[in-house]
Structure 1
């Protein structure tokens, strides 16, 4: 696990901040910025641009949890939240908010390293899954575009599917364009002519 991460800690209490800083230092993390206020958190985090955000709260409300999650950029970086108390609804809200780690029963110095390592690993896994899902959605959309263009060619020229695909492919190669771009151009032109 790489330890050259910039970490932002959101903690209002100076005593707890010191304990968190010591726990992070013990875990090998030294590039740490403490934010003692949640006001303008999104702006401050944008300026700092940390690799990971650690939030320590005594008893968050659902609104505060969602606001902190959105402000901390839970979809773009690992966010670990430590809370003293929670309930089933809050746990569900934390998962829905995209937190990488939601730890109940407060922050303890010796738990920081394993929780953050887990949060980082979970965030990377979820990010990879999102990338794979996006790639699959794009491939499906491209396939649909090509199939639609083939259908238009088959209907307009009275040719078979293989011939229509070959014609699209040859045109893409001749024009040095992507097959899906040629297919989309054909669809657009056909719609304009109707």
Structure 2
């Protein structure tokens, strides 16, 4: 496997370099970290877009927690050594992919909950206006969605919006 490595010696050009290079992985070696460095790294590297591993020579209390909360995939104390690079990067990549999946699942769960709320509102409207049961209202929404080749939540949303306009 071929790797292309870009070394950024000046921290001030880190953000620009990351935007230009669009790396698959960011590895940072900092002797004396601070919350400012972690914040700058977070803003520069987009840890939600790629794995970021931060190697430090020493750490103050709370910095590792701040680094993980900022989205960094790995925070390694005692600096960068050749024997540690591969296992740490493998772990950082695995953690990054796990967090990506968890964010996607959370987004999907939130969307499903919002869809459920809209569908329930639409069923309530149909029940009240047409004088039908909840099961009948759901069946009507479902049939309409299938007839229009649309998602049930989209049909329900359109009905709720129309009712707001008419009500």
Fold agreement, TM-score > 0.5: yes
1:39 to 12, 16, 21: 12
CA-CA distance at 1:127 after TM superposition: 0.8
TM-score by length of 2: 0.95
Counterparts of 1:161 and 1:43, CA distance in 2: 56
TM-score by length of 1: 0.82
CA-CA distance at 1:40 after TM superposition: 3.7
Per-residue CA distance 1:109-133 (angstroms, 9 max, x = gap): 1110110011001111111111111
CA-CA distance at 1:98 after TM superposition: 0.8
Counterparts of 1:129 and 1:184, CA distance in 2: 27
The reply on whether 1:137 has 2:110 as its aligned counterpart is: yes
The reply on whether 1:101 has 2:82 as its aligned counterpart is: no
Per-residue CA distance 1:89-124 (angstroms, 9 max, x = gap): 111111111110000111111110110011001111
Equivalent residue pairs, number: 167
CA-CA distance at 1:62 after TM superposition: 0.4
SS at match of 1:80: strand
The list of structure 1 runs, each at least 4 consecutive aligned residues, that deviate by more than 2 angstroms after superposition, is: 40-43
SS at match of 1:51: coil
**1:112 alignment partner in structure 2:** 85
1:154 to 117, 124, 127: 127
CA-CA distance at 1:70 after TM superposition: 2.0
**1:191 alignment partner in structure 2:** 164
1:169 to 126, 136, 142: 142
CA-CA distance at 1:71 after TM superposition: 0.7
